[in-house]
Structure 1
């Protein structure tokens, strides 16, 4: 259940920004560790409520709630006997915040949504004019920028297009691109 603190934080600071997501699990873990270490100002491997409050304040992420609400939220993730969040507790808190703000629980389709978003971004790289299709000319330009020798021969580029062009219109739409990428994976 969302508390007033989490709702206020969500409404005033994140605005469902997709940039908060880190797509690479190894980068996510590394960056999360760095954030933990920055919050852990006394370097005792535990983040206290005071350290989190101070860090949020320095980042300009003031919530519209009082300190007791924030303390209550954080303490719900602190294991009995600890004075604050260990790194493992911090990871669990981060996942909970991510799920709350972005509505995505990995076991229930989050990966598929992220894969779709990644494919859309990749498609946009090839679809230079934004018309929703990848033409042979667009593919040739991208291949050239990437240094592929196939870019030098339009015939080869057209063969690449025709190999995935299911509806035979001479260009690749997003569905054809998606099917091709999933086949390659």
Structure 2
């Protein structure tokens, strides 16, 4: 829970930095400027219009705070899911969609910056029940991660 609060606090700070004119909205220009400042000559800056279109539910041409959080969470979630899928594929050469608990423990210790505390690894493993043969299903794991560990 504390990590979720910290994540929301960081998102609020990021939103305020992106919202240069302080109007409570991130315009396409503001988003593009931030993307360029993070990576000059980045092709991502050209995606500012697409990002706004994708997450701007009210079709205002800009993002409010809630839409910004959804955009950031969506990107983070997609990256984490891609990392997990790649790790599962390495440990699941026959592409069965299942791995052992020990294999999952190894994946969790390597995802992201590799600093997931052992207590959190155990909490995740406790939430995901293996099948009768002792294996964990990838889809069940992603579903549990998305419902229990979002920020």
Structure 2 length as normaliser, TM-score? 0.51
- Counterpart Cα distance in 2 of 1:49 and 1:101: 23
Task: State the match for 2:50 in structure 1.
Answer: 72
Cα pair 1:56 1:62 within 8 Å, conserved: no
Alignment size in residue pairs: 90
User: Where do residues 22-171 of structure 1 align in structure 2 (5 Å cutoff)?
Assistant: 24-60=3-39, 62-64=41-43, 67=46, 69-103=47-81, 113=108, 117-119=116-118
- Superposed displacement of residue 99, structure 1: 1.3
- Counterpart Cα distance in 2 of 1:61 and 1:28: 26
- Counterpart Cα distance in 1 of 2:16 and 2:45: 25
- Superposed displacement of residue 73, structure 1: 2.4
- Counterpart Cα distance in 2 of 1:77 and 1:58: 21
- Counterpart Cα distance in 1 of 2:40 and 2:8: 22
Deviations 1:139-161 (A, max 9, x none): xxxxxxxxxxxxxxxxxxxxxxx
Structure with the higher fraction of residues in strand conformation: 2
Task: State the match for 2:147 in structure 1.
Answer: none
Structure 1 length as normaliser, TM-score? 0.42
Structure 1 gaps of 5+ residues are 1-22, 105-112, 122-185
- Superposed displacement of residue 26, structure 1: 0.8
Q: Is the alpha carbon distance of 1:51 and 1:66 closer, same or farther for their aligned partners in structure 2, counting shifts above 3 Å?
A: closer
Q: Is the alpha carbon distance of 1:33 and 1:66 closer, same or farther for their aligned partners in structure 2, counting shifts above 3 Å?
A: closer
- Superposed displacement of residue 80, structure 1: 2.3
Cα pair 2:53 2:59 within 8 Å, conserved: no
- Counterpart Cα distance in 2 of 1:62 and 1:119: 40
Higher RCO (CA 8 Å, separation ≥ 6 residues): 2
Deviations 1:112-147 (A, max 9, x none): x58x931179xxxxxxxxxxxxxxxxxxxxxxxxxx
Structure 2 gaps of 5+ residues are 83-107, 110-114, 121-151
| Secondary structure, counterpart of 1:80 in structure 2 | coil
CA RMSD of aligned residues (A): 3.0
Larger Rg, first or second structure (1 or 2): 1
